[in-house]
Amino acid sequence: MRLNCITPPYILSRLLDSDNQAIREAALNTLLTTARLRGQRDVRGPMAAAVATPGDGRRTIFDCKHGTYLPRARIARSEGDEPVSDAPVNRAYDGFGATKDFYHDVLQRNSIDDRGMQLLGYVHRGTRYNNAFWDGQEMVFGDGDGQVFTDFTGSLDVIAHELAHGVTEHTAGLEYHNQSGALNESLSDVAGSMVKQWSLKQTADQADWLIGAEVFTPDIDADALRSMKAPGTAFDNKLFGKDPQPDHMDRYVDLPDTDEGDYGGVHINSGIPNKAFYLVASGIGGNSWEAPGHIWYESLKASTVDTQFQDFADTTFAKAGELYGVGGPEQEAVRAAWDGVGITLTPPKNPRGR
């Protein structure tokens, strides 16, 4: 089972050095819990599996009541129900709805798998759990420790980011390590930003391009988990250091393909294709979910499990030409964007070998 988590392991690891014992304990518990979940083949059990059937993206939100065994969670709100008194339940429900509507209205996709997959969410998982994750069938939210992290349902782009991992699973199935894994993470950030901008009706130049701006408490000096506009600038503080994301291939970070190495830096090197998408959206202008979003989505569908940065860049250029005309402003914006992050497009091969 592949667990896709929103909180980068390098942040949690740095928190282990905090002078605050409560912060250290919460970070350690989150790291250990996440590692343990990755070792399990199934975190859902029969209860969730019973409702994980096609249903036009019907939403069901469960309340874990701070437990960790998902089958014991109780349904808190189902599709069509009125809002409840629990704010995280409502935020998860609404975030699922915004993401589902985005895929339907903008990309003509029927839920995560394009076959009406139900959207299952679990809130209040564990105690002081500093993460949210997609496990292949549902999304699970922690409440945060209240000192560094807040409730993870508070950020729409985090919700859309995690659900987008499901879209990637059901399309290209990008392997979660090294460049294909960083591309996997980047595509989720792209989706998260587009859903947020679409919901707020923001153009590319009006958007903040931040991922998870709401996940930190007001006491933490940090803008967000990541910045797509300026990778490497989302945070810089004593508690967990400086944002390590590169914005150019010259600064690509080689890390071990291990859990401790973030599987080759998937949350770190995603800054490079993130910056490329921002440059395309700002270069074309207008709404990111229009030409830029369609180019990226069609390129995702044309990708394979081991697609690398260069492969994806070449595909986006080809798709821009197919969708909007060879040599048009959209295609030239794609070329300029990848050049801006240090990736030179591969010239197309002459079919006659000339």
Q: Which residues are catalytic?
A: 162, 267
Question: How far, in Å, CA of 329 to CA of 325, rounded?
Answer: 8
* In contact, 207 and 193? CB cutoff 8 Å: yes
Between CA 17 and CA 259 the distance in angstroms is 19
DSSP annotation of 26: H
Give 325-330 contacts, CB < 8 A, sequence gap 24+: 329/284, 330/284, 330/291, 330/295
Q: Render 280-298 in DSSP notation, one character per residue.
A: HHHHH-S-TTTHHHHHHHH
Listed residue (57, 178, 72, 52) closest to 124, CA to CA: 72
Quick one: angle between helices 178-200 and 291-301, nearest 10? Answer: 150
Q: Do 112 and 120 contact (CB within 8 A), yes or no? A: no
Question: 30: how many CB neighbours lie within 10 A of its CB?
Answer: 24
CB distance 76 to 123 below 8 Å = yes
